[in-house]
Each structure stands twice: as structure tokens, then as C-alpha cells.
Amino acid sequence: MANLARARHEGTWGWQIVDELAPAQDDVVLRKLRYDAFYGTPLDHLLRLWGVDTLVICGTIANKGVHYTAASAALRWYDVVIPRDAVSALDPSTSSQRCARPHSRSPDG
């Protein structure tokens, strides 16, 4: 678990964006400070400028980052979708338990 905590620090392997997902030159990249991607970032402001009302949230360690970001988005009145096959967790049971309704809805119902 100690290695996982260190992997979140800037400049470490876990902090880097993998080559397969490298942003394009004009893509916006935000530095996430906490589990909640809205916390301390201009994410909400940018999404509203772009007219976004639905978020599809994917990621690893779903019981942390995905859960907190989805809940924060729902509190800001975004529709939230968490595809079950696009999240993971250290313990598979926590992925589905923590990201279930009422904060999100899945495409299959």
C-alpha cells in the first residue's frame, strides 16, 4: 500500500499519463489535487463553459477517486454515468458497492 500512496506524487510512474492516453496539443489537462477531481481545479467552470451536463466517469481505485468525483459531480447537478467495465478497485467488491446509486446511474439501467 505504501507504493500505491507514493505513486500519486508528481513525477512518479503512477502520476504520469500513459503514452496510449497522451493528450493532444489542444487538450486540457488538469492537475488533480485530491480524490475529488473538482476539488481545487477549474473543472466545474470549464464543463459549464462547454455546456456539458453529463459525465462518464472511469478510473482505477473506484472506491476513492471515481466515487468522490461522481458524488461531487452529482452535487453540482451533473448527470453521472459510471460504466461498470471501466472502473477497478484494489478489492473488486468495493468498486461496485461504493460507486452504486444514488450518486450515479449506469447505462444498463
- pLDDT of 94: 54
42 close to 70: Cβ distance less than 8 angstroms:
no
- pLDDT of 3: 58
Q: Tell which residue, 28, 33, 86, has the closest CA to residue 57.
A: 86
Tell me the pTM. 0.73
Tens-digit pLDDT profile for the chain (109 aa)? 555 556 567 777 777 788 898 999 999 998 888 889 999 999 999 999 999 999 999 888 778 889 999 999 999 999 999 998 888 877 666 545 445 544 444 455 4
Residue 47 grid coordinates: 464543463
In SS3 terms, the chain reads as: CHHHHHCCCCCCCCCCCCHHHCCCCCCCCCCCCCCCCCCCCCHHHHHHHCCCCEEECCECCHHHHHHHHHHHHHHCCCEEECCHHHECCCCHHHHHHHCCCCCCECCCC
Place of cell 466515487: 67
